[in-house]
Amino acid sequence: MSVEPAGLVPTLSPRAPSAEHGVSPFIELDRPTWARLSTEIDSPLNQEDIDRLRGTGDPLDLDEIRDVYLPLSRLLNLYVEAAGHTHNVTTTFLGERMHRTPFVIAVAGSVAVGKSTIARVLREMLRRWPSTPDVQLVTTDGFLLPNAELERRGLMERKGFPESYDQRALLRFVAAVKSGAEEVRAPWYSHLVYDIVPDREIVVRRPDVLIVEGLNVLQPARRHRDGRVGLALSDYFDFSLFVDARTADIENWYIQRFRQLRSSAFADPQSYFRRFATLSDAEAEATARGYWRGINEPNLTENVLPTRGRAQLVLSKDADHSVRRVLLRKT
């Protein structure tokens, strides 16, 4: 179950992407330094927006928006504008007009780390910038194999692991978006029924920005049996960020969220997890901890954490869910 100027520090923390001989490809900024990078810009979101965007158990507030996500939206806007300049150079060189393709941003991280909330916040904030009014969001949940197929393959207990996804379909989807296709469709996943909904789709029609959020979006390319190395999903990303935290903190967040869901999503008669709605606090904690240690922690350790160093930016959270430092890849 995957219910889902001063202050620049040249060295890395133990949780930061590692590097040989103490030399890092990242610049690490503490929160005050990062926050000062957008002091001349007002936050476009208010408390009502935040209440709508934050997920269960994620204490997002106005300070976090101002200090962390406002600078991040400014940085991403600059990247989008730079991509536009590159596009203009290419069309000038070729001597013909071509449609600019969407700028694709990846958001990766563990179950319960808050990546879905961050993806929604970035979508809303980037929409406020004049150069990116059309921002769409797709989660990789829609590319999970249907439950019936997972059962057939004996993979229900590995849902969320790389092998539980239709990797080819996901790769084709993002490749089509980056090729400039007029319309690209993705399957619809329902967290309520914990499965793909066959008669629903997400339709992406050449947005300015597409955000792709998921556990395994930064996985490297797989090597085929004949030795060839295929394309990786990340080959199509223009920018990628990883949401990081101590594993013990993520486990606590996962358990807290599970307990809160008993009186909300789990209580819905249509919920796949309705059997958990009447669990006591002790039973809920034991159940959640079992799922975490049997499924989600192994997936985090084996598959998600190893991709952290592939990101262009890492948001590092403390135990209270607040971002305390940011690592930005040097260019």
Could you tell me which residues are annotated as the binding site for ATP?
Answer: 109-116
CA angle 156, 157, 158 (to 5 degrees): 90
For residues 164 and 1, the answer to whether their CB atoms sit within 8 Å is no
Tokens of 287: 């159940």
CB 76 within 8 A of CB 54: no
Q: Do strands 103-109 and 135-139 pair parallel, antiparallel, or not at all (unpaired)?
A: unpaired
Of 205, 218, 237, 51, give the one whose Cα is nearest residue 136: 205
* Tokens matching residue 16: 């930061």
Q: For 205-309, list the strands marked E by DSSP.
A: 209-214, 239-244
Chain-centre distance for alpha carbon 110:
9
Contacts of 323 (CB under 8 A, 6+ apart): 31, 64, 67, 68, 315, 316, 317
Task: Take residue 11 and report the two structure tokens written for it.
Answer: 């060295």
Indicate the pairing of strand 103-109 with strand 239-244: parallel
Amino acid identity, position 311: A
Please tell me the distance from the alpha carbon of residue 166 to that of residue 168, in angstroms, as a whole number. Answer: 6
The CA distance from 148 to 150, in Å, is 5
Q: Which residues line the annotated binding site?
A: 109-116
